[in-house]
Structure 1
């Protein structure tokens, strides 16, 4: 009978308890046994690597590569008050303001486009609201003094009704 050089076939990928790693479940050919191995266990032993189906090794390598790429990606963990965001970067959490993210967009190039657009929209909206408050306060102050508004308020003039 033909005996292949490998004797383990990948059945499933299971998450490790309290960890971001995975265990791979293998079926042993010719018996009813199953073996659970981590990626580190597979890489540590040449004997185990030679016992695993080469297609399964390729599949495991691709899965681990995708997991590593996802871990390196930046993502917004939480949106805090005052246009502050908690961002997960390379295993660390940092709190950044929306303005600093918008100014340093090349630093956060790994953020998803949806997160970037949301942060930029919120930052612009709050800046516009703040500018509107300053503009209104300068106009009220100018009316109170009955003089033209200062240059910072874009020279707001009082509108008068024209009689015909």
Structure 2
């Protein structure tokens, strides 16, 4: 997270001022910090450059996180299935399994390969018209955002 964003952020729960204990910097980026609200004592971690400003009173029900956790756990417990998913040529898998492979690669931190694998799966999972519209929306969004000079904050409202 860029350090200049500190001045723009407030507690999402009570809108109080935040106290920042920066643990790790990389240039002008904060890579790790502990963030606490001075008013309500809410705690918000910042890890790998990403602040997690989720209100402490709301329940978490991240279905993507559960899927990833369950998939990885299942594959650890069933190494023969993991081998069938990960140790065969990509084009021998059906599109759903190709997508699952991309999830495993992402979980392992192999992001470039995960993205390429997911894109390969998408080409089989979705109609060309859908993919064309999806890409057009992404390109439109990038074009619209590129005209702004200030910061853009990703609210992390979902996967993708």
TM bucket normalised to smaller: under 0.3
Greater Rg, structure 1 or structure 2? 1
TM, length-normalised to structure 1: 0.20
Structure with greater helix percent: 2
